[in-house]
Structure 1
Amino acid sequence: MAQVEFSPDELDGFAALLDGQDTHLDALSRYADVTCRALPDMGDLRAALDGLGEAHARALQDSQSGLGRTAHWLTRAAREYRARDSEAAASLDRVRGSASSTVPGPRAAAGSGPASMAGPAGIAGPAGIAGPAGIAGPGGLADHPGGSAPHGFLSREGGRGPDARGRLFRSDGTLALPVPEFHRHERLARTEQRLTEHTELWYRLTSDHLPALVTAPLAGRIERLAWLATAYATLGAGTTAVLDTVGPGLPGWRTPAGAEFESHLRRWRTGLAGLVELDRAIAAELGRMSAEATRSAEGILDLADDLLDGPLPRLRTLVYPDRSLKIWLVPAQTQEIYTELRRGLALLAEIGAALAGVERAFTELADQLGQWRGACESLLSSAGRPA
């Protein structure tokens, strides 16, 4: 295996590249840990969704830690190499009895000092390394709007365009991850309000809580599914933007050192790319499930309208003719009450059957979420691997 030489300034440039991703990865992990785990009204789905969000946040946190450790090691190695160069130069000065200025140091034009890590690419020249801050040449570390990560160092043909960058990055270069707006299902909310007007009546007749039989199994959950679909789509887009700032290649540094670093960085990119694919799958499935649950809810609300427009107001008139509970004694009136009660119970039975179908779909979704959580945890070794 051929030996690859690194100059201290190359190592500093690599470290600056990784340090520039720290803020972005921190924003992504916090979004997964806070926004994707905002689940106040998900019922039985809450545990599965919370576990998935937690695993996702942990994978991103490990990815951030892996890059941080690698950047630390690169900076430390650069510092040690410079120290060795200085010691070697001082030693040669003593042996030769000459001034240290006569000995090429780590920033000599050809980069060839006795302890220098600079290879044939050298340090000077249009694409050479100007110092720890990065590269002075056209492919160098300059003007990256995302912070300390060098944009010029990462530029590539066919890369992310300015429109995508404008959507996902603020003017100061920090990653912008908008929290979705939560919208209540208007018809569901209206039905829920109408049911409360008959709650006491129905409880007196059946000892059942009417909203719990009709709207409670749906309220919040179908809206939150759409909300979470948008949140995971945003998380995937943000992760993709971070991958694009790193780029799949390093065309500005066509040196053995750059190629070696790129091969190590590719492992980290593979882990994050896996998270992106997972985000897309989760967003698509949550969106599909939200649409399916919404269609089911419309059918359930149609039945609820039949209940609210028929048996319930009729029962209210029969049982509360003067706004006080009436104990009926007339057989004909009693029979009419029983008839309307049976109609209401029949409609509630249809609603219950439809809700059972929604619950079965939610149970299948919970199982799928558990599988995605396992997939997310399996990515920890690659997403969190030091670059």
Structure 2
Amino acid sequence: SLHLQNTGFEYTDGVTPAQVPSSIQVINSMRLIVNDDAPIQIPLDGLPSKSFDERLITSAGHAIWWPEVGPNVDQDCQIDNCVKFNLSLGPGESAKLVFSVSLTSTAYTWWSSSSRVDSQIDGINNGIDIDSSGTFEDISERGGGSKLIQFGAKQWYNRGSMIGQDGPYQDYAIDAVQFDIVQETVDTIAADMPNGRSDNAYAFARATFDYLHKNVAYDKEAPIVARSGPACLAASIGDCDEQTNAFFSILRAKGIPGWYVFGALTDSTFESWEGHAWGYILLPMSESWCNERNIELDTCYVEGSVDVVNNKWLLHTPTAYIDWIEESDPSSSLVKSYYKPGKRCCDVDRDRSFSTAEITSIGNTFQVKKLAENLW
């Protein structure tokens, strides 16, 4: 499940207990090492907090603290629990900060296709497919409609006018209404829906996933400022967050909520890492499917991970590290703070990288085949 959220089914028969959420990622410990100083243990929940006035000073004069969320950009956290530092650097000097994170991660699926999902992956028995899916209208009846309110806006993250080589598509990162190319793509996808499935939420979301695989190439040299959803569709190319912008622009046009996950991705050997962004979507089970299983209708849905560029449909793999799951914020200030944490001065460069220090155990492996789903 999502951190601290119980998104499991609740039952109406008075006998079956509510589901206990599975943890796909558990942070076991965090340490901060500055240059060659002794490691600093960081509390997992940020408590007890350490304010700016209580900051630690390293042997080289660098300041470290982990405050609560507050209004002071320089001294407080802006999104959630965080670690802040103030480096004391002279001309030509540098500092190395290593966040050593010990975690346990496991594979999980929200897809119930027994013919396409490896049986060793947890979650398949409570997943969704085209036959169990509800309609677009059912979305507002699940989870109190909160995710639709929070992550269903037709436009999201206004970055200002940025008309460039990709055309006049660039102000809102997610935009379901301003440009014809999004609605034209929606119509193209909808035209291929199976008979009697035109309002099936799962079918449309999966068809959109397959459409992007077929029609949008991966961009290894994407621009620094990410293309918007419409710009990605117009250029037929995009990297991870650009194709997710396109995916969400299309889904939100049909009322399917989607929100971002930010973190990092590694290969199957855990040797090569890179920053990464992907998404979560909400899909409802049908009312008849829920009633047959005595499941409370409001809880009868999935919130599943979708990584378009890495062909992970309703699938989380241990190779994906979750750093931050987007929180509802109409002002977009939280995502801005995530992309540009803190501030710097004096032409100081900041290089960020990921690496694996140690792997204690690896379970069995499985393959994810890049094959469009037959929805007919």
**What TM-score bracket applies, with the shorter chain setting the length?**
under 0.3
Decide which structure has greater strand share. 2
Give TM-score, length-normalised by structure 1. Answer: 0.21
Give TM-score, length-normalised by structure 2. Answer: 0.21
Q: Higher Cα Rg: structure 1 or 2? A: 1
